Homo-oligomer: A and B are copies of this chain.
């Protein structure tokens, strides 16, 4: 036997992620439509994603999903789209003043949700888990970008 843990990796990830979605859904109730909208808001607040495609990649979502999510945030007056002068195909997404306030409040609530979610772990384990997840997710994101480039390269070779 080689198994160290009881659960499949996918089972643990799924259980935690679904619990996260359920609890964030309660935490943002009345302020945003869905938990995904909070994640988008948080990425926009981070300020290191230049356009919708970058936000989608960061969250592991399809870019078609971003359109509706940003539509919703914009309708609520929390973000604004503006054309990128350097590339007129691209749209920058930035928090409005109201969005900044709302994000600060929601981030406070979600922090509590996250602590509760990892309540089975000690504080140092909590930090350890977040760091490992962060690095693993970053590697996945990078691999997806590489794959996209590889596909683009293949197509170029064929062309």
Contact = CB atoms under 8 A, between A and B. Distances in A.
Q: How many copies does the complex hold?
A: 2
A12 B144 CA distance: 14
A121 B134 contact: no
Nearest to A111: B2
Of A117, A119, A142, A143, most B-chain CB atoms within 10 Å: A117
A138 B11 CA distance: 10
Interface of A: 4-21, 24, 35, 38-39, 42-43, 46, 58-61, 110, 114, 117-121, 125, 127-144
A132 B117 CA distance: 12
Main SS class of interface, A: helix
B43 A5 contact: no
B128 A15 contact: no
B129 A129 contact: yes
A10 B14 contact: no
Given A59-B15, A60-B18, A136 B117 contact: yes
25 contacts: A5-B130, A7-B58, A8-B42, A8-B110, A10-B39, A10-B110, A12-B130, A12-B134, A13-B17, A14-B17, A14-B39, A15-B58, A15-B59, A15-B137, A18-B61, A19-B140, A117-B136, A118-B136, A119-B143, A120-B138, A120-B142, A121-B135, A121-B136, A125-B132, A132-B132
